[in-house]
Amino acid sequence: MTKKDKTKILEKKIDDALIGGGQKRIDSQHSKGKLTARERINILLDKNSFQELGMFVTHRSSDFGLDKKVILGDGVVTGFGTIEGRLVYVFSQDFTIFGGSLAEAYAEKIVKIMELALKNGAPLIGLNDSGGARIQEGVVSLAGYADIFYRNTLASGVVPQISAIMGPCAGGAVYSPAITDFNIMVENTSYMFVTGPNVVKTVTHEEVSSEELGGANTHSSKSGIAHFSAKNDIDAIAHVKKLLSYIPQNCEEIPIAYKYNGENEIREKLDDIIPENPNTPYDMHGVINEIVDNDSFFEVHKQYAENIIVGFARLAGKSIGIIANQPAFLAGVLDINSSKKAARFVRFCDAFNIPLLVLEDVPGFLPGTDQEWNAIITNGAKLLYAFSEATVPRITVITRKAYGGAYDVMNSKHIGADLNFAWPTAEIAVMGAKGASEIIFKKEIMSSDNKDAKLEEKINEYQNLFTNPYIAASRGYIDEVIKPQQTRERLIRAYKMLENKVDNLPKKKHGNIPL
Ligand code: HXC
């Protein structure tokens, strides 16, 4: 065989691998409104930066006629490339080959790039579109999944891991995204569930569609499994790129800083944001957007547990993670879901050296049997624990209410915050004035001829004494009471001061967060 013939064989193999078994398969993917595995990678990565690995890998199974269906690459495209010039590792599952189902060789390809990502300290991106374990290959498919889950766990906190769900993600396929840091789901074409509608119907007699059971909308708003919901494949990929712009390559690095030329940092609009009546809601997004660099806020978990807002932003060009109570939703109360949402975000930011900013306006924890029976105690403690063990620069600004246990939890000085500011409208107390007065002045009010007037008098008395930031400031729990308009300026200065912060936790194998 001549050198030319050998080259021809190579070219034919590459052609076969690239087309993944035929134009018909590509058309079938497009007809469902989905891109192919390779199109997705091409959009994700910088032009011509993709280096594929394992293009000629095939399965080794012969059961159920698989020996007659050998397709180069075996249903997953893997390799590395760059996004905005920064190295990333990527796998992209090809639904057109055995339904993107995962088996032995396929899993080995993914494991190979996971290990490279871990050793070389760069993010891992998974583009998921798969019917789960390849049924014909039996236990080796299950082994392949476990090999991946294990490495997802080892990589957690070392390199960022992002999953885009762009088609089915069923059965065993769900647990790798579940361990990764962020899940982005495509609306109408993706769904995630452990057991599908048929099994659900058999076991619980519930009739539910795939979309309702595990579509993007369900997981963005009900379960919180999806951090982002995207309109289509292109939008999902745009989310991945945007997310990466705020985070570093690995846990040893800091996020890239954007150019920022100092300017007038006073934001007068903030002075008018808190309503006169302390019980009137306002949208905390307004506060966030005034404080951070223009259009830099990138909200995570937007539709889930809306009583707390979390997301990335830039302040003077540098990444920060924001956790903010939202008075416009359930009065900004802390409950089970908001505690879990915020705790996971705090831990991600801490793992990847992203400073934290807390904007606090919280009336306390949500009362009720539903909350108590579903373990608000354990779940609230998650947030307390997450803040307490975070060693990145941590700053809190109390805009209005900071009541009860929620005051402690929301990055108080006592659990390790570096600097705590309060606006003059801050109310730092064990509880709200009305509730407090009804308890501590109960006898006085009950024995009064005019109970309502007495209650009003006591509320005023309590308010004058406690519902302000000055007692906390006199104790040093608040470092400075600032005018709202000064917030951005103070924060820029404070984060600069904290830039080289070093803080170590006591030596341990690992802590035991209340899960
Ligand atoms: C092998 C599979 C497959 C699988 C799909 N295919 N899933 N092949 N193993 N798990 C094949 C189909 O046979 C078909 O092949 C092609 O992929 C396309 O599938 P369709 O059913 O025609 O597509 P669609 O109608 O879009 O339905 C997609 C689907 C459905 C909803 C994903 O295929 C499905 O329900 N698949 C099974 C899902 C599942 O139960 N997976 C196993 C979970 S158990 P042809 O040759 O006809 O094109 C599991 C345990 C792991 O994952 C546990 C680890 C912890």
Instruction: Give residue-wise pLDDT tens across range 63-91.
Output: 888 888 888 899 999 999 999 999 999 99
Mean pLDDT of 315-342: 98
Buried b (16+ CB within 10 A) or exposed e, 402-418: bbbebbebbbbbebebb
> Looking at the structure, do residues 457 and 484 belong to the same domain, yes or no?
no
Confirm whether 296 is domain-assigned: yes
> Looking at the structure, do residues 55 and 183 belong to the same domain, yes or no?
yes
Percent helix, strand and coil across the chain, each rounded to 5?
Answer: 45, 20, 35
Ligand 1 centre to CA of 478 (Å) is 57
> Looking at the structure, do residues 239 and 313 belong to the same domain, yes or no?
no
Confirm whether 445 is domain-assigned: yes
Mean pLDDT of 260-286: 95
Provide the pLDDT confidence category of residue 134 given band limits of 50, 70 and 90: very high
Buried b (16+ CB within 10 A) or exposed e, 1-37: eeeeeeeeeeeeeeebbebbbeeebbeebeeeebbbb
> Looking at the structure, do residues 351 and 375 belong to the same domain, yes or no?
yes
> Looking at the structure, do residues 116 and 82 belong to the same domain, yes or no?
yes
Provide the pLDDT confidence category of residue 290 given band limits of 50, 70 and 90: very high
Ligand 1 and 133: CB distance under 6 A: yes
Mean pLDDT of 219-232: 98
> Looking at the structure, do residues 296 and 408 belong to the same domain, yes or no?
yes
Confirm whether 163 is domain-assigned: yes
Ligand 1 centre to CA of 130 (Å) is 7
Least confident of 121-125, 440-444, 471-475: 440-444
Provide the pLDDT confidence category of residue 186 given band limits of 50, 70 and 90: very high
Q: Is the backbone of residue 256 left (phi > 0), alpha (psi -120 to 50) or beta?
A: beta
User: What gap in Å lies between CA 338 and CA 34, rounded to an integer?
Assistant: 33
Confirm whether 503 is domain-assigned: no
3-class SS of residue 448? coil
Mean pLDDT of 425-439: 89
Ligand 1 and 214: CB distance under 6 A: no
Total of domains in the chain: 3
Confirm whether 509 is domain-assigned: no
Across the chain, mean pLDDT equals: 95
427: its two tokens: 């109310």
Confirm whether 236 is domain-assigned: yes
Ligand 1 centre to CA of 95 (Å) is 9
Ligand 1 and 132: CB distance under 6 A: yes
Confirm whether 29 is domain-assigned: yes
Q: Checking DSSP bridges between strand 228-230 and strand 182-186, what pairing results, if any?
A: parallel
Closest CA to ligand 1's atom 55 = 172
- The pTM assigned to this predicted structure is 0.95
**Domain range for residue 441?**
432-467
Ligand 1 centre to CA of 24 (Å) is 18
> Looking at the structure, do residues 48 and 168 belong to the same domain, yes or no?
yes
User: What gap in Å lies between CA 148 and CA 85, rounded to an integer?
Assistant: 27
> Looking at the structure, do residues 192 and 314 belong to the same domain, yes or no?
no
> Looking at the structure, do residues 202 and 301 belong to the same domain, yes or no?
no
Asked whether the predicted pLDDT for residue 344 surpasses 80, the reply is yes
Ligand 1 and 172: CB distance under 6 A: yes
Number of Cβ within a 10 Å radius of residue 236: 27
Mean pLDDT of 301-312: 98
Beta bridge pairs of residue 255: none
> Looking at the structure, do residues 327 and 300 belong to the same domain, yes or no?
yes
Would you name the residues annotated as active-site residues? Answer: 171-172, 405-406
Q: Cβ(388)–Cβ(415) under 8 Å? A: yes
List the end-to-end C-alpha distance of the chain, in Å, as a whole number.
Answer: 63
| Cα-based distances in Å from 425 to 54, 141, 274, 312 | 61, 59, 8, 26
Counting from 1 in the atom list of ligand 1, the atom nearest the Cα of 135 is: 9
Confirm whether 392 is domain-assigned: yes
- The distance between the two most distant Cα atoms of the chain, rounded to a whole number of Å, is 110
pLDDT tens string 375-395: 999 999 999 999 999 999 999
Give the per-residue pLDDT at 60. Answer: 86
Task: Considering only residues 226 and 10, tell me which one the structure prediction assigns the higher pLDDT.
Answer: 226
**CATH number of residue 203's parent domain:** 3.90.226.10
Provide the pLDDT confidence category of residue 20 given band limits of 50, 70 and 90: low
Mean pLDDT of 301-315: 98
> Looking at the structure, do residues 391 and 479 belong to the same domain, yes or no?
yes
3-class SS of residue 351? helix
Q: Cβ(113)–Cβ(90) under 8 Å? A: yes
> Looking at the structure, do residues 215 and 157 belong to the same domain, yes or no?
yes
Provide the pLDDT confidence category of residue 158 given band limits of 50, 70 and 90: very high
Asked whether the predicted pLDDT for residue 21 surpasses 70, the reply is no
